[in-house]
Amino acid sequence: MAKQFRFPDVGEGITEGEIVRWLVKEGDEIKVDQAFAEIETDKAIVEMPSPYAGTVLRLHFNEKDIVKVGQVLITVGEKGEVAAEAPPAGGPTIRAEERPAAAAARTAKAEAGESLATPKVRKLAQEIGVDLKTVQGTGPQGRITEEDVRAAKEKAAQIPAKPAIKVKAKFDFYGSIERLPLRGVRRATAKRMAESASKAAHVTHFDEADATVLAKVRERMKPAAAAQGIKLTYLPFVVKTLIAALKLHPMLNATMDDEEQEILIKKYYNIGIAVDIPEGLIVPVVKAADQKSLLDLAKEIQTLANAARARSLDLADLKGGTFSITNVGMIGGEAATPIINYPEVAILATMKIADRARVENGQVKVKMTLPLCLSFDHRVIDGAEAARFMNDLKKMIEDEASLTAALKAGD
Protein backbone atom coordinates (compact mmCIF):
# COMPACT_ATOMS: atom_id res chain seq x y z
CA MET A 1 0.00 0.00 0.00
CA ALA A 2 1.32 3.45 -0.93
CA LYS A 3 2.55 5.56 1.98
CA GLN A 4 3.01 9.31 1.98
CA PHE A 5 5.74 11.06 3.97
CA ARG A 6 5.06 14.65 5.01
CA PHE A 7 7.64 17.34 5.72
CA PRO A 8 8.04 17.00 9.51
CA ASP A 9 8.04 19.70 12.16
CA VAL A 10 11.71 19.91 13.21
CA GLY A 11 11.04 22.51 15.91
CA GLU A 12 12.68 25.91 16.55
CA GLY A 13 9.79 27.67 14.79
CA ILE A 14 10.70 26.26 11.37
CA THR A 15 7.58 26.25 9.16
CA GLU A 16 9.02 25.70 5.69
CA GLY A 17 12.05 24.62 3.72
CA GLU A 18 13.45 24.73 0.21
CA ILE A 19 14.12 21.53 -1.71
CA VAL A 20 17.74 21.92 -2.75
CA ARG A 21 18.16 18.55 -4.46
CA TRP A 22 16.30 15.26 -4.86
CA LEU A 23 18.60 12.30 -4.16
CA VAL A 24 16.20 9.82 -5.77
CA LYS A 25 13.87 9.85 -8.77
CA GLU A 26 10.46 8.33 -9.42
CA GLY A 27 10.78 4.57 -9.98
CA ASP A 28 13.87 4.17 -7.79
CA GLU A 29 13.95 1.63 -4.98
CA ILE A 30 14.49 3.19 -1.56
CA LYS A 31 15.43 1.73 1.83
CA VAL A 32 14.40 2.74 5.33
CA ASP A 33 16.54 5.67 6.57
CA GLN A 34 17.94 6.28 3.09
CA ALA A 35 18.25 10.01 2.38
CA PHE A 36 15.92 11.02 -0.44
CA ALA A 37 16.26 14.83 -0.47
CA GLU A 38 18.40 17.74 0.66
CA ILE A 39 16.19 20.41 2.22
CA GLU A 40 17.34 23.81 3.42
CA THR A 41 15.64 24.88 6.64
CA ASP A 42 16.52 27.89 8.74
CA LYS A 43 20.11 28.27 7.56
CA ALA A 44 21.04 24.57 7.46
CA ILE A 45 20.86 21.98 4.70
CA VAL A 46 19.63 18.65 6.03
CA GLU A 47 19.30 15.26 4.38
CA MET A 48 15.75 13.93 4.80
CA PRO A 49 15.65 10.16 5.55
CA SER A 50 12.81 7.94 4.37
CA PRO A 51 10.78 6.13 7.06
CA TYR A 52 9.56 3.65 4.43
CA ALA A 53 11.08 1.10 2.07
CA GLY A 54 9.80 0.41 -1.42
CA THR A 55 9.49 2.10 -4.79
CA VAL A 56 9.42 5.87 -5.15
CA LEU A 57 6.00 6.38 -6.74
CA ARG A 58 5.94 10.15 -6.73
CA LEU A 59 7.99 13.24 -5.83
CA HIS A 60 5.42 15.90 -5.04
CA PHE A 61 7.64 18.98 -5.52
CA ASN A 62 10.36 20.21 -7.85
CA GLU A 63 13.83 21.29 -6.84
CA LYS A 64 13.91 24.93 -5.58
CA ASP A 65 10.25 24.66 -4.50
CA ILE A 66 9.26 25.88 -1.01
CA VAL A 67 7.54 23.16 1.02
CA LYS A 68 5.51 23.84 4.15
CA VAL A 69 5.55 21.68 7.30
CA GLY A 70 2.86 19.02 6.87
CA GLN A 71 2.91 18.89 3.07
CA VAL A 72 3.62 15.55 1.37
CA LEU A 73 7.17 15.25 0.05
CA ILE A 74 7.27 11.73 -1.32
CA THR A 75 5.03 8.71 -1.88
CA VAL A 76 6.54 5.23 -1.47
CA GLY A 77 4.80 1.95 -2.28
CA GLU A 78 5.00 -1.21 -4.34
CA LYS A 79 6.22 -1.24 -7.91
CA GLY A 80 3.37 -0.59 -10.32
CA GLU A 81 1.17 1.11 -7.74
CA VAL A 82 -0.37 4.44 -8.66
CA ALA A 83 0.33 7.33 -6.29
CA ALA A 84 -2.70 9.38 -5.35
CA GLU A 85 -2.71 13.16 -5.29
CA ALA A 86 -1.26 14.50 -2.07
CA PRO A 87 -3.93 15.75 0.35
CA PRO A 88 -3.43 19.21 1.88
CA ALA A 89 -1.15 19.74 4.87
CA GLY A 90 -4.03 19.52 7.31
CA GLY A 91 -5.02 16.04 6.14
CA PRO A 92 -7.23 14.51 3.44
CA THR A 93 -10.37 16.33 2.36
CA ILE A 94 -13.44 14.20 3.09
CA ARG A 95 -16.15 14.51 0.51
CA ALA A 96 -19.69 13.59 1.43
CA GLU A 97 -21.30 10.81 -0.55
CA GLU A 98 -24.01 12.02 -2.90
CA ARG A 99 -27.48 10.85 -2.05
CA PRO A 100 -28.84 8.45 -4.68
CA ALA A 101 -32.14 10.34 -5.00
CA ALA A 102 -30.37 13.66 -5.47
CA ALA A 103 -28.01 12.19 -8.04
CA ALA A 104 -30.94 10.70 -9.97
CA ALA A 105 -32.83 13.98 -9.84
CA ARG A 106 -29.79 15.84 -11.10
CA THR A 107 -29.57 13.45 -14.02
CA ALA A 108 -33.24 13.98 -14.82
CA LYS A 109 -32.84 17.76 -14.65
CA ALA A 110 -29.83 17.62 -16.95
CA GLU A 111 -31.82 15.61 -19.46
CA ALA A 112 -34.76 18.06 -19.22
CA GLY A 113 -32.46 21.04 -19.45
CA GLU A 114 -33.86 22.79 -16.38
CA SER A 115 -33.50 22.90 -12.59
CA LEU A 116 -36.18 21.91 -10.10
CA ALA A 117 -36.91 24.97 -7.96
CA THR A 118 -39.88 27.03 -6.78
CA PRO A 119 -40.39 30.59 -8.10
CA LYS A 120 -39.32 31.90 -4.67
CA VAL A 121 -36.02 30.01 -4.88
CA ARG A 122 -35.47 31.16 -8.47
CA LYS A 123 -36.01 34.78 -7.42
CA LEU A 124 -33.50 34.40 -4.56
CA ALA A 125 -30.94 32.87 -6.93
CA GLN A 126 -31.38 35.78 -9.35
CA GLU A 127 -31.01 38.37 -6.56
CA ILE A 128 -27.75 36.98 -5.18
CA GLY A 129 -26.28 35.95 -8.54
CA VAL A 130 -26.39 32.14 -8.40
CA ASP A 131 -26.80 30.05 -11.55
CA LEU A 132 -29.27 27.28 -10.62
CA LYS A 133 -27.72 24.99 -13.22
CA THR A 134 -24.64 24.78 -11.01
CA VAL A 135 -26.56 23.98 -7.82
CA GLN A 136 -27.20 20.45 -6.53
CA GLY A 137 -30.61 20.23 -4.89
CA THR A 138 -31.09 18.45 -1.58
CA GLY A 139 -34.88 18.70 -1.39
CA PRO A 140 -37.42 16.03 -2.41
CA GLN A 141 -36.67 14.57 -5.85
CA GLY A 142 -33.60 16.78 -6.04
CA ARG A 143 -35.49 20.05 -5.69
CA ILE A 144 -33.27 23.07 -5.00
CA THR A 145 -34.00 24.80 -1.69
CA GLU A 146 -33.18 28.30 -0.44
CA GLU A 147 -30.46 26.76 1.74
CA ASP A 148 -28.91 25.15 -1.36
CA VAL A 149 -28.78 28.53 -3.12
CA ARG A 150 -27.22 30.32 -0.14
CA ALA A 151 -24.71 27.49 0.35
CA ALA A 152 -23.74 27.73 -3.34
CA LYS A 153 -23.22 31.48 -2.98
CA GLU A 154 -21.07 30.99 0.12
CA LYS A 155 -19.01 28.29 -1.58
CA ALA A 156 -18.43 30.49 -4.62
CA ALA A 157 -17.19 33.29 -2.36
CA GLN A 158 -14.60 30.93 -0.85
CA ILE A 159 -13.10 29.95 -4.22
CA PRO A 160 -10.10 32.20 -4.82
CA ALA A 161 -10.02 34.15 -8.02
CA LYS A 162 -7.54 33.02 -10.64
CA PRO A 163 -4.36 35.02 -10.19
CA ALA A 164 -3.61 37.55 -12.86
CA ILE A 165 -0.62 36.84 -15.05
CA LYS A 166 2.32 38.82 -13.72
CA VAL A 167 4.71 40.37 -16.19
CA LYS A 168 8.11 40.96 -14.61
CA ALA A 169 10.05 43.60 -16.46
CA LYS A 170 13.75 43.10 -17.14
CA PHE A 171 14.22 46.87 -17.43
CA ASP A 172 13.10 49.88 -15.47
CA PHE A 173 13.14 53.53 -16.54
CA TYR A 174 16.92 53.79 -16.09
CA GLY A 175 18.24 50.53 -17.51
CA SER A 176 18.40 46.74 -17.13
CA ILE A 177 17.78 44.98 -13.80
CA GLU A 178 18.40 41.51 -12.42
CA ARG A 179 15.87 39.71 -10.21
CA LEU A 180 17.15 37.36 -7.50
CA PRO A 181 14.57 35.16 -5.73
CA LEU A 182 14.67 35.41 -1.93
CA ARG A 183 15.56 31.83 -1.07
CA GLY A 184 17.59 29.69 1.30
CA VAL A 185 19.90 31.39 3.78
CA ARG A 186 19.05 34.87 2.49
CA ARG A 187 15.33 34.19 3.03
CA ALA A 188 15.92 32.83 6.56
CA THR A 189 18.21 35.75 7.41
CA ALA A 190 15.65 38.26 6.18
CA LYS A 191 12.88 36.69 8.27
CA ARG A 192 14.98 36.55 11.45
CA MET A 193 16.32 40.09 11.07
CA ALA A 194 12.81 41.46 10.49
CA GLU A 195 11.51 39.54 13.51
CA SER A 196 14.31 40.86 15.72
CA ALA A 197 13.90 44.46 14.53
CA SER A 198 10.13 44.34 15.11
CA LYS A 199 10.25 42.73 18.58
CA ALA A 200 13.40 43.92 20.35
CA ALA A 201 13.97 47.56 21.33
CA HIS A 202 17.40 48.02 19.75
CA VAL A 203 19.99 50.39 21.21
CA THR A 204 23.71 50.36 20.30
CA HIS A 205 26.50 51.40 22.68
CA PHE A 206 29.84 52.28 21.05
CA ASP A 207 33.20 52.05 22.82
CA GLU A 208 36.86 51.39 22.15
CA ALA A 209 39.49 49.28 23.87
CA ASP A 210 43.25 49.70 23.86
CA ALA A 211 44.42 46.51 22.11
CA THR A 212 48.15 46.86 22.86
CA VAL A 213 48.23 44.16 25.57
CA LEU A 214 45.88 41.91 23.59
CA ALA A 215 48.12 42.04 20.52
CA LYS A 216 51.22 41.33 22.60
CA VAL A 217 49.68 38.28 24.31
CA ARG A 218 48.39 36.95 21.00
CA GLU A 219 51.80 37.22 19.36
CA ARG A 220 53.29 35.35 22.31
CA MET A 221 50.78 32.48 21.96
CA LYS A 222 50.74 32.17 18.15
CA PRO A 223 53.71 29.72 17.86
CA ALA A 224 52.09 27.21 20.27
CA ALA A 225 48.83 27.43 18.35
CA ALA A 226 50.55 27.05 14.98
CA ALA A 227 52.29 23.91 16.25
CA GLN A 228 48.81 22.38 16.68
CA GLY A 229 47.66 23.57 13.25
CA ILE A 230 45.50 26.35 14.71
CA LYS A 231 45.29 29.83 13.21
CA LEU A 232 45.08 32.05 16.29
CA THR A 233 42.92 35.10 15.55
CA TYR A 234 41.75 37.73 18.00
CA LEU A 235 38.24 36.22 18.13
CA PRO A 236 38.84 33.49 20.75
CA PHE A 237 40.45 36.14 22.99
CA VAL A 238 37.32 38.26 22.64
CA VAL A 239 35.13 35.23 23.49
CA LYS A 240 37.16 34.57 26.64
CA THR A 241 36.99 38.18 27.85
CA LEU A 242 33.33 38.41 26.87
CA ILE A 243 32.42 35.43 29.05
CA ALA A 244 34.29 36.94 31.99
CA ALA A 245 32.28 40.16 31.57
CA LEU A 246 28.98 38.26 31.15
CA LYS A 247 29.57 36.54 34.48
CA LEU A 248 29.64 39.99 36.08
CA HIS A 249 26.54 41.10 34.15
CA PRO A 250 24.24 38.05 33.82
CA MET A 251 21.30 40.04 32.37
CA LEU A 252 23.15 40.18 29.06
CA ASN A 253 23.44 36.39 28.94
CA ALA A 254 19.71 35.90 28.57
CA THR A 255 16.82 35.40 26.16
CA MET A 256 13.40 37.03 26.10
CA ASP A 257 10.23 34.91 26.27
CA ASP A 258 7.65 37.30 24.82
CA GLU A 259 4.79 34.83 25.11
CA GLU A 260 5.28 34.33 28.87
CA GLN A 261 6.65 37.85 29.41
CA GLU A 262 9.72 36.44 31.17
CA ILE A 263 13.47 37.10 30.97
CA LEU A 264 15.34 33.80 30.93
CA ILE A 265 18.81 34.32 32.44
CA LYS A 266 21.06 31.52 31.25
CA LYS A 267 23.49 29.89 33.68
CA TYR A 268 25.56 28.52 30.80
CA TYR A 269 27.53 30.26 28.05
CA ASN A 270 26.81 29.22 24.46
CA ILE A 271 28.36 31.83 22.20
CA GLY A 272 27.12 32.31 18.64
CA ILE A 273 29.73 33.30 16.04
CA ALA A 274 28.32 35.03 12.94
CA VAL A 275 29.86 33.63 9.74
CA ASP A 276 29.62 35.48 6.45
CA ILE A 277 28.92 33.27 3.43
CA PRO A 278 27.93 34.28 -0.13
CA GLU A 279 24.29 33.31 0.46
CA GLY A 280 23.88 35.32 3.69
CA LEU A 281 24.71 35.01 7.37
CA ILE A 282 24.95 31.86 9.50
CA VAL A 283 25.46 31.83 13.28
CA PRO A 284 26.86 28.49 14.55
CA VAL A 285 27.03 28.22 18.33
CA VAL A 286 30.04 27.22 20.46
CA LYS A 287 28.48 25.22 23.28
CA ALA A 288 29.81 25.52 26.88
CA ALA A 289 32.36 28.07 25.71
CA ASP A 290 33.29 28.94 29.33
CA GLN A 291 34.58 25.41 29.88
CA LYS A 292 37.03 25.41 26.98
CA SER A 293 40.62 26.57 26.73
CA LEU A 294 41.67 29.37 24.40
CA LEU A 295 43.16 26.97 21.85
CA ASP A 296 40.14 24.66 22.02
CA LEU A 297 37.92 27.67 21.35
CA ALA A 298 40.10 28.77 18.44
CA LYS A 299 39.97 25.27 16.93
CA GLU A 300 36.18 24.93 17.34
CA ILE A 301 35.47 28.37 15.91
CA GLN A 302 37.63 27.52 12.92
CA THR A 303 35.86 24.15 12.45
CA LEU A 304 32.37 25.66 12.70
CA ALA A 305 33.22 28.47 10.30
CA ASN A 306 34.54 25.99 7.72
CA ALA A 307 31.43 23.84 8.11
CA ALA A 308 29.20 26.90 7.71
CA ARG A 309 30.91 27.85 4.46
CA ALA A 310 30.69 24.24 3.22
CA ARG A 311 26.99 24.17 4.26
CA SER A 312 27.60 20.98 6.26
CA LEU A 313 26.44 22.23 9.68
CA ASP A 314 23.93 20.21 11.65
CA LEU A 315 20.78 21.98 12.86
CA ALA A 316 22.00 21.42 16.42
CA ASP A 317 25.04 23.60 15.65
CA LEU A 318 22.70 26.58 15.16
CA LYS A 319 20.66 26.22 18.33
CA GLY A 320 21.02 27.10 22.00
CA GLY A 321 22.87 30.41 21.78
CA THR A 322 22.89 32.79 24.76
CA PHE A 323 24.95 35.66 23.26
CA SER A 324 26.33 36.34 19.77
CA ILE A 325 29.44 37.98 18.30
CA THR A 326 29.80 39.35 14.79
CA ASN A 327 33.42 39.98 13.83
CA VAL A 328 33.16 42.77 11.27
CA GLY A 329 36.80 43.73 11.82
CA MET A 330 38.11 40.97 9.59
CA ILE A 331 36.59 42.90 6.69
CA GLY A 332 37.00 46.47 7.94
CA GLY A 333 35.07 49.38 9.37
CA GLU A 334 34.99 51.69 12.37
CA ALA A 335 31.47 51.13 13.73
CA ALA A 336 28.28 49.15 13.16
CA THR A 337 24.81 48.64 14.65
CA PRO A 338 24.37 44.84 14.67
CA ILE A 339 20.88 43.32 14.82
CA ILE A 340 20.26 41.16 17.91
CA ASN A 341 20.01 37.43 17.29
CA TYR A 342 16.48 37.26 18.74
CA PRO A 343 15.40 35.94 21.27
CA GLU A 344 18.85 36.73 22.70
CA VAL A 345 19.03 40.19 24.27
CA ALA A 346 22.47 41.41 23.15
CA ILE A 347 25.08 41.07 20.42
CA LEU A 348 28.66 42.38 20.18
CA ALA A 349 30.28 43.61 16.96
CA THR A 350 34.08 43.76 16.98
CA MET A 351 35.60 46.08 14.41
CA LYS A 352 39.06 46.25 12.83
CA ILE A 353 42.05 46.41 15.21
CA ALA A 354 44.29 49.15 13.83
CA ASP A 355 46.56 52.05 14.77
CA ARG A 356 44.54 55.19 15.44
CA ALA A 357 45.43 58.72 16.57
CA ARG A 358 44.21 59.26 20.13
CA VAL A 359 44.71 62.04 22.68
CA GLU A 360 46.38 61.01 25.94
CA ASN A 361 47.38 63.55 28.62
CA GLY A 362 46.91 66.37 26.16
CA GLN A 363 49.14 64.79 23.50
CA VAL A 364 48.20 63.02 20.28
CA LYS A 365 49.53 59.48 20.21
CA VAL A 366 49.18 56.53 17.87
CA LYS A 367 47.56 53.61 19.67
CA MET A 368 46.37 50.18 18.56
CA THR A 369 42.65 50.10 19.36
CA LEU A 370 39.66 47.77 19.02
CA PRO A 371 36.27 49.45 18.41
CA LEU A 372 33.41 47.60 20.15
CA CYS A 373 29.70 47.97 19.33
CA LEU A 374 27.11 46.44 21.67
CA SER A 375 23.48 46.26 20.52
CA PHE A 376 21.08 45.39 23.33
CA ASP A 377 17.34 45.01 23.92
CA HIS A 378 16.36 48.06 25.95
CA ARG A 379 13.29 46.19 27.25
CA VAL A 380 15.67 43.97 29.24
CA ILE A 381 18.91 45.94 29.66
CA ASP A 382 19.24 49.56 30.74
CA GLY A 383 21.80 51.85 29.11
CA ALA A 384 23.75 52.21 32.36
CA GLU A 385 24.07 48.42 32.70
CA ALA A 386 25.26 48.15 29.10
CA ALA A 387 27.89 50.82 29.75
CA ARG A 388 29.10 49.06 32.91
CA PHE A 389 29.34 45.79 30.96
CA MET A 390 31.45 47.47 28.27
CA ASN A 391 33.72 49.04 30.91
CA ASP A 392 34.40 45.60 32.40
CA LEU A 393 34.92 44.07 28.95
CA LYS A 394 37.45 46.79 28.11
CA LYS A 395 39.29 46.13 31.37
CA MET A 396 39.52 42.39 30.53
CA ILE A 397 41.10 43.34 27.19
CA GLU A 398 43.37 46.18 28.31
CA ASP A 399 44.70 44.95 31.66
CA GLU A 400 47.22 42.11 31.32
CA ALA A 401 46.38 40.56 34.71
CA SER A 402 42.64 40.61 33.95
CA LEU A 403 43.25 39.25 30.45
CA THR A 404 45.46 36.43 31.77
CA ALA A 405 42.82 35.48 34.34
CA ALA A 406 40.10 35.40 31.67
CA LEU A 407 42.25 33.25 29.39
CA LYS A 408 42.96 30.71 32.12
CA ALA A 409 39.27 30.13 32.84
CA GLY A 410 38.20 26.78 31.44
CA ASP A 411 41.74 25.36 31.15
Residues with a known catalytic role: 378
CB distance 210 to 398 below 8 Å: yes
| Backbone phi and psi for residue 152, each to the nearest 5 degrees, phi listed first | -65, -40
Buried/exposed 144-179: b ≥16 CB within 10 Å, e otherwise: bbeebbeebeeeeeeeeeeeeeeeeeeeeeeeeeee
Distance between CA 343 and CA 253 in Å, rounded? Answer: 11
Of 55, 345, 15, which is closest to residue 188 (Cα–Cα)? 15
- Asked whether the beta carbons of 55 and 28 are under 8 A apart, the reply is yes
Q: Measured between alpha carbons, how far is 154 from 152 in angstroms, rounded to an integer?
A: 5
Question: Prior bond to 140 cis, omega within 30?
Answer: no
Rounded CA separation 168/366 (Å)? 55
Nearest CA-CA partner of 373 in 411, 406, 340: 340
> Rounded CA gap, 112 and 407, in Å?
92
Between CA 254 and CA 246 the distance in angstroms is: 10
Measured CA to CA, the distance from residue 230 to residue 267 in angstroms comes to: 29
Q: Are 270 and 264 in contact, with CB atoms under 8 Å apart?
A: no
Kindly report the number of other CB atoms within 10 A of residue 59's CB atom.
20
CA proximity to 378, closest of 370, 387, 365, 368: 387
Under 8 Å between Cβ of 249 and 388? yes
Measure the CA–CA gap between 168 and 322, rounded to whole angstroms: 43
Other Cβ atoms within 10 Å of 47 Cβ, number: 13
DSSP-derived pairing of the beta strands 72-77 and 3-6: antiparallel
